Amino acid sequence: MTTQSKSSNISDSYPSDLREQARVALKDQKSRTITVLSSLLAVHDELGYLPIEALEEISIFTNSSVNEVWSVASFYPNFRFTPPALHSVEICWGPTCHVLGAQQILQGVVQHLGLEGEGDTDDGEISLKYNTCLGVCPHAPAVSIDHRLVGHASLAGVIDKIKTLIEGSKNKQGGD
Ligand code: FES
């Protein structure tokens, strides 16, 4: 059976856009050595998570079984298998940020979101992650909100930004 026919058989039962995005990401890989891991990283970067469709496309692309792909994917805690929340908040708790108050920001944000640590809020609005260095130590403590860096962050400032994000989502939903 060719790769193409295998792929079209499977795609009959799943949304084709996820498959198509995964296929494009797999073909566009820049690394010289294509492996299951490089493929997982490429697709995760593209989709933000690894749905079953992506694992199947990777197994086809790398001539591996879905079980082999899953065993590599599940080994790395940074891969997620469910869609991310609407907004991302990453709090740096690296040494410089730690010294300059990251712990207070981290604890305050976790409490504000009703979480116990990293994870997604129940309403699907915020994905909270910790980061060991956002690369802007001179501006510590640092936070990344929807991939935009905030330097010299304060707990109140971060909570304000989170509230603004959530209000924006609600307004958008109300307008739909
Ligand atoms: S330690 Fe926080 S940005 Fe480097």
Read off the amino acid at residue 114.
G
Tell me how far the alpha carbon of residue 103 lies from the centroid of ligand 1, in angstroms: 12
Q: How remote is the CA of residue 94 from the centroid of ligand 1, in Å?
A: 5
Domain ranges of the chain: 3-75, 87-173
CATH superfamily of 87-173: Glutaredoxin (3.40.30.10)
Q: Which atom of ligand 1 is nearest to the CA of 97?
A: 2
The Å distance, Cα 96 to ligand 1 centre, comes to: 5
- Give the other-Cβ count within 10 Å of 85's Cβ: 19
Per-residue pLDDT tens digits for 30-76: 878 899 999 999 999 999 999 999 999 999 999 999 999 999 999 99
Among 105, 137, 143, 144, name the best residue to mutate to test ligand 1's pocket (greatest count of ligand atoms within 8 A of Cβ): 137
pLDDT mean over 77-90: 92
Confidence band of 119 (pLDDT split at 50, 70, 90)? very high
DSSP state, 130? E
Is the four-CA dihedral 49, 51, 54, 58 of positive or negative sign? positive
Distance 98 CA to ligand 1 centre (A): 8
Pairing relation of β-strands 148-150 and 143-145? antiparallel
Mean pLDDT of 139-148: 96
Angle between helix 102-113 and helix 155-175 axes, rounded to 10 deg: 30
Task: Answer whether 95 contacts ligand 1 (Cβ < 6 A).
Answer: yes
Handedness of CA 99, 101, 105, 108 (dihedral sign): positive
Residue pLDDT, tens place only, 3-33: 333 333 443 444 569 999 999 999 999 878 8
